[in-house]
Amino acid sequence: MIMKAVITGDIVNSQEADSENWLPKLKQLLEKWGKTPTDWEIYRGDEFQLKCDIEEVFWTALTIKSLVKQFENLDVRIAIGIGEEQYSSEKITESNGTAYVHSGRLLNEIKNEGKTFAIRTPDETINADLGILFKWCSLDFDSWTIAVSEIVHLLMLDKNLTQDDLAKKLGISQSSVSQRIKRANLDLILETDQYFRKKIAELK
């Protein structure tokens, strides 16, 4: 059976922000990865679930994170579950399998622990390795400012954008772009993504 990745997430502090601002943007982003309600769904106002390719799930999660953190006071909890999809429904929230179980249960756990970013796979060794990595990563991701989140998000959507391209899109100087990229630790994000892909390949 083919492995699937499922992201279950919820918006932190959603009651402190007008959903008319962030919700359409989140929907627009999720539409890039499939159709609702088969591939993704937003429910209970501020929770969502998305099915995606396992190699891309770390990058996908950061794309979501960098979007949400562009809105003042908002953050997002993301639980990545990797496993089998035993039943695929017309609604993702009615599908099941270990990928869904891992993701749903993990979100509840990190809520209770005050964490915002975690992963669970069928392999305990990989869980241990990636668990530690994600704890360190989230310290950085959680501290992204709105300005840093903007630059990260654009690069998540298109890795080929140059600093000049980014400066034009954001209406800032190239030197300001360079400073934001350094604050985002972009090189480390790229290295982490490559390491993640290698570890996940061990599941196949």
Model confidence at 16, in pLDDT bands (50, 70, 90)?
confident
Give the residues across from 75 on adjacent strands.
12
39/52 Cα distance (integer angstroms): 8
Torsion sign over Cα 119, 94, 31, 9: negative
135/133 Cα distance (integer angstroms): 5
69/87 Cα distance (integer angstroms): 33
On whether the CB atoms of residues 43 and 122 are closer than 8 A, the answer is: no
pTM exceeds cut of 0.85:
yes
Cα-Cα-Cα-Cα torsion 172, 175, 181, 185, nearest 10 degrees, comes to -150
pLDDT digits (tens, 9 = 90+) for 131-158: 999 999 999 999 999 999 999 999 999 9
